[in-house]
């Protein structure tokens, strides 16, 4: 089964706490995951910020249940069911969700507070958005913006001059930790043109090893096939080299992606999409327009001696 959305988790959470015993939040999360038979892959699936999706959804389900007065927290990190929560379960509801919680004035006040503070959108959320936690909606929007930016980036890169593209490749590899300085790296790339090798770059700042580069500024329909990789590997062998990076602004065929040299040669393939994503990750050709910070309670601050 897929990871349930946060509203679907409300009823099983309330049922889990119906024994009227205090439960630590982390224990409740673990018990709920076991009862739902989630596998390790589902438990480890994360949002872009690194928080497990399941934990995030449980956290918001707990928040909403507490705001509606169905749960209480007698001490930090401890949960118990309230009289209102027991009364809600006695109705044998098929589901407890936001619509169910709107019968409680405290929950309505909480939602109005969100709207007044512009945390929630003034536009009614779509059914899909309503199933997501706030972090998930932010994450989805972020990924859409990033996807659009990546496409715009690669379209721009494909229109660059060969010299500018070579410089871009150098700067990216230096940002990735190769080549020492841009000055040192730039002296090599674009200078050789020997037997299918566009340039070389130091593997580290000391230059203990050399990485050979092939860079193809091709349009999207002009894909790189396995023969191109054969030529590159052959060129590496002619130089006595064992490491290479093949970068293209287009893509690789399935056969090319499945190709692995039988000797000790190692090659890394970077297609247009990966190139754009690396440029975004390492702030190459992009600038920060706006930054948001997601903050949580600092439990250590509230720890009393």
DSSP the chain: -PPPPTTTTHHHHHHHTTT---EEHHHHHHHHHHHTT--HHHHH-B-TTS-BHHHHHHHHHHHHHHHTTSEE-SSTTEEEE-HHHHHHHHT--S---HHHHTTSHHHHHHHHHHHHTT-S-SSPPPHHHHHS-HHHHHHHHHHHHHHHHHHHHHHHHHTS-HHHHHHHHHHHHHHTT-SSSHHHHHTTTTT--BTTB-EEEESSTT-SSEEEEEEE---TTS-B-HHHHHHHHHHHHHTT--EEEEEESS-B-HHHHT---SSS-EEEEE-HHHHHHHHHHTTSS-------------TTTT---
Give the lowest-confidence range in 52-61, 141-150, 191-200, 273-282. 191-200
Q: Which CATH class is domain 10-132?
A: mainly alpha
What is the structure's pLDDT at 184?
A: 65
More confident residue, 260 or 104: 104
According to DSSP, the residues that pair with 212 across neighbouring strands are 200, 244
Cβ atoms of residues 54 and 97 within 8 Å = no
Mean pLDDT across 51-55: 90
What does the pLDDT read at residue 182? 66
Across 193-197, 235-239, 282-286, least confident range: 193-197
Cα atoms in the Cβ-side hemisphere of radius 13 Å centred on 7: 16
pLDDT above 70: residue 46: yes
The 10s digit of each residue's pLDDT in 155-200 is 889 988 888 888 898 889 888 888 766 666 655 554 544 445 577 7
Any idea where the domains of the chain sit in the sequence? 10-132, 156-281
Q: Which CATH number fits domain 156-281: 3.40.1350.10, 1.10.1040.10, 3.10.20.740, 3.10.20.30?
A: 3.40.1350.10
Say what angle helices 105-116 and 53-67 make with each other, to 10 degrees.
Answer: 120
**Interval 48-69 mean pLDDT:** 88
Instruction: Inform me whether the pLDDT recorded for 103 exceeds 90.
Output: yes
Residue of higher predicted confidence among 172 and 203: 172
């Amino acid at each position: 089964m897929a990871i349930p959305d946060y509203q679907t988790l409300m009823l099983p959470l309330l049922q889990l706490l119906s024994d009227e015993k205090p439960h630590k939040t982390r224990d409740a999360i673990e018990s709920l995951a076991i009862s739902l038979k989630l596998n390790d892959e589902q438990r480890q699936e994360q949002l872009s910020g690194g928080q497990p999706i399941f934990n995030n959804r449980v956290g918001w389900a707990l928040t909403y249940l507490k705001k509606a007065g169905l749960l209480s927290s007698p001490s930090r990190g401890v949960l118990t069911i309230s009289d209102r929560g027991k009364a809600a379960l006695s109705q044998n509801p098929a589901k407890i969700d936001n619509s169910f919680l709107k019968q409680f004035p405290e929950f309505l006040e909480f939602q109005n507070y969100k709207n007044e503070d512009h945390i929630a959108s003034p536009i009614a959320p779509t059914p899909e958005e309503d199933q997501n936690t706030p972090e998930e909606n932010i994450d989805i929007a972020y990924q859409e913006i990033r996807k659009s930016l990546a496409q715009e980036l690669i379209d721009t890169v494909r229109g660059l001059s060969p010299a500018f593209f070579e410089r871009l490749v150098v700067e990216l590899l230096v940002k990735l930790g190769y080549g020492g300085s841009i000055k040192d790296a730039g002296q090599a790339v674009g200078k050789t043109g020997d037997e299918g090798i566009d340039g070389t770059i130091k593997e580290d700042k000391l230059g203990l090893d050399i990485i050979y580069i092939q860079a193809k500024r091709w349009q999207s329909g002009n894909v790189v096939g396995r023969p191109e990789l054969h030529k590159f590997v052959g060129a590496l062998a002619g130089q006595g080299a064992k490491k290479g990076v093949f970068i293209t602004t287009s893509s690789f065929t399935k056969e090319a992606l499945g190709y692995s040299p039988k000797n000790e040669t190692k090659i890394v393939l970077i297609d247009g999409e990966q190139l754009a994503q690396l440029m975004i990750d390492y702030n190459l050709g992009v600038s920060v327009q706006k930054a948001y910070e997601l903050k949580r309670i600092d439990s250590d601050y509230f720890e009393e001696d």
